[in-house]
Amino acid sequence: MNYEVIITCAVTGAGDTTSRSHHVPITPRQVADAAIEAANAGAAVVHLHVRDPRTGTASRNPALFRETVDMIRDSGVDMIINLTAGIGGDWVPSEGDPSLPGPGTDMIGPEARLAHVVECKPDICSLDCGTMNFGGNYTYINTASYLRCMAQITLDLGVKPELEVFDLGQIRLARSLIDDGLISAPPMFQICLGIPWGAGANTATMSAMQQALPTDAVWSGFGISRMQMPMVAQAVLLGGNVRVGLEDNIYLERGKLASNGMLVERAAEIIERLGARVLGPEAARAKIGIV
């Protein structure tokens, strides 16, 4: 069991959730305010996407990231900033010719996927450690060569990569990056469960993935939708840290929409009832290995 737990809050994500909950932040100001709310509720780390303020859809515009990050830093509220680097790998095959991109494809190279990280220099950025089918008719593509390039860029920047893993094969790929000296110690992993069509959100799967991690890994785990809070408890019991937030689940309980702050408070309550304590940003930096 982990008795000193870091809470990460993923405040908005890239999915089509804005039409389902008015709490999901869209504009840079709203995303920044959501991050501040989460930090004040007990989250040491905030995981950030940005959205087009006009449409609410996911964006990878570095200017939007910079505006959001500047607002958070100017607030004076202490938190560890973790920017997504997962945008720009969506491939939807054309119906007429599957070798060509169809509507909805957004495919860019590894350097472009990190343009906003270079611009903002956050504490952490995520690296999605492989290619997989997401629900529907699209595939997220992140090849081994892309990941090696991105890992080298983050190493040179001094940004800590959060190795997001969605199945056991992705842990093998992440470990190869560590073995090649592309990831600084201690490695930081995020076990992502319940996403179609990755690993399921259940005890056996989280345990199997945790056991496949390097022994010195600092890891966190989450489940999406109704499995968010059960996986909070499970991660703590298996020795990990936790992630909640509106990227992964929009409900506090059946029929009751949540804010990010509410989800963080509920996670903190579970952690404390298990006999552990929630770490603040300063202690979390020491544990993660952020200077």
For residue range 96-126, list pLDDT tens digits in order: 999 999 999 999 999 999 999 999 999 999 9
What is the phi/psi pair of residue 66, to 5°? -60, -45
Mean pLDDT of the chain: 97
For residue 291, pLDDT beyond 90? no
CA angle (222, 223, 226) in 5-degree steps? 140
CATH code linked to domain 4-288: 3.20.20.70
**Structure tokens that stand for 171 in this block:** 């842990």
Mean pLDDT within 35-49? 98
Residue 291: Cβ-neighbour burial (10 angstroms; 0-12, 13-18, 19+):
exposed
Residue indicated by tokens 């509220």: 77
pLDDT for 90 = 95
3-state SS class at 210: helix
For residue 23, pLDDT beyond 90? yes
Q: Which amino acid is at 283?
A: A
Taking the C-alpha atoms of residue 34 and residue 37, their distance in angstroms, rounded to an integer, is: 5
**Structure tokens that stand for 168 in this block:** 């056991």
pLDDT for 135 = 79
pTM assigned to the model: 0.97
CB 221 within 8 A of CB 240: yes
Position 248 confidence tier, pLDDT thresholds 50, 70, 90? very high
% residues pLDDT > 70 (the chain): 100
Give the length of the chain. 291
Q: Which of 37, 28, 115, 127 is nearest to 82 (CA)?
A: 127
Residue indicated by tokens 């350097």: 111
**Structure tokens that stand for 54 in this block:** 């006009």
The full set of domain ranges for the chain reads 4-288
Taking the C-alpha atoms of residue 192 and residue 20, their distance in angstroms, rounded to an integer, is: 22
Q: Which of 188, 260, 263 is nearest to 228 (CA)?
A: 263
Q: Which amino acid is at 21?
A: S
| Residues paired with 160 in a beta bridge | 124
**Structure tokens that stand for 69 in this block:** 């990050």
Query: How many CA atoms, within 13 angstroms, populate the side-chain half-sphere of residue 259?
Result: 14
The per-residue DSSP string of 23-41 comes to TS--SHHHHHHHHHHHHHH
For residue 252, pLDDT beyond 90? yes
Digit-coded pLDDT (tens) for 128-162: 999 999 877 889 999 999 999 999 999 999 999 99
% residues pLDDT > 90 (the chain): 98
Taking the C-alpha atoms of residue 125 and residue 164, their distance in angstroms, rounded to an integer, is: 10
pLDDT for 137 = 86
Taking the C-alpha atoms of residue 140 and residue 117, their distance in angstroms, rounded to an integer, is: 20
Taking the C-alpha atoms of residue 78 and residue 70, their distance in angstroms, rounded to an integer, is: 13
**Structure tokens that stand for 203 in this block:** 């005890």
| Residues paired with 50 in a beta bridge | 59
Taking the C-alpha atoms of residue 257 and residue 20, their distance in angstroms, rounded to an integer, is: 9
3-state SS class at 274: coil
